[in-house]
Amino acid sequence: MVHVKAPCPDEYHLVAPDHIGFGNSAAPPVGEFDYSFERLTEITLGLLDTLGIDRFALYLHDYGAPIGLRIASRHPERVTALVTQSGNAYTEGFTPFWDVLFAHAKDRAAHEPEVRRLLAAEATHWQYTHGVPADRLDRVAPETWHLDQAGLDRPGNAEIQLQLFWDYQFNLDVYPDFQRYLREHRPPTLVTWGRHDEIAGLIRDFLRRVRQGLVIRP
C-alpha cells in the first residue's frame, strides 16, 4: 500500500484507483477473472478513457509499474511525466527476494508453500519495517501493515496473489518495449528508491533513459 496524499492546485486531479483484487475494488475468484497484468492494464486504460482523461502523468509503484509502463509505451502521446517509486523496467532491478518468485513461475507446485509465506502477517510487517533505522520505526504507522494484511486475508485473495505472482514473469517480455519508450521519448521522470529496499534494486538506467531525471534515495 502507498498512501498518496498531495495538495493539488485546482487544475490538477489525482486519480488513484484500486486494481481488481485489491483495496475496495471487486475481487472475483481466480476462476472468474483473468488476473494478469495485461488485463489490469486494459481496465486501467478503460478507466482513463471513461473519465475522459486524455493527458496524464503516471505514478509507478510496485504492480503499478508494469501496468503504467504498458500504458506509456503504447500511448506515449498521452503521458506528460513519470514518477516511479521502486518501479522496475530493468532486469538489474531484481534482488534475491525475487528468486523464489521466478522459481515459482517455472514450477508452481514445488514452490507454492514458500511463496505463500510471503502473504503471511510476518512478511507484510517486514515489508514496512525492514531497513528502517531503529530510531525511526515509530514513524511507521501500524495500521499500514494491518490494513494490507486484512486485504490479503480475505477469502480467495491468496489465490489471486499467487496468480499475479505467477503472471509477473510475462512482464519481462515487454521490458524491451518499456526501455524503448524511455529511450526514445525521454519523459520527465522523478525516480525514488529506498536505500535499504531488498525487493527493488536501484535502477540507474532510468536516469540514462529520461530527459529530466532526479533520483531520491531516502
pLDDT digits (tens, 9 = 90+) for 135-187: 999 999 999 999 999 999 999 999 999 999 999 999 999 999 999 999 899 89
Query: What is the predicted pLDDT for the residue at 1?
Result: 42
Q: Which CATH number describes the domain made up of 30-216? A: 3.40.50.1820
List the chain domain ranges. 30-216
Confidence of residue 9 (pLDDT cuts 50, 70, 90): low
As a whole number, the mean pLDDT across the chain is: 90
Integer Cα distance of 101 and 104 in angstroms: 5
0.95 exceeded by the pTM?
Answer: no
Q: pLDDT: is 102 or 90 the higher one?
A: 102
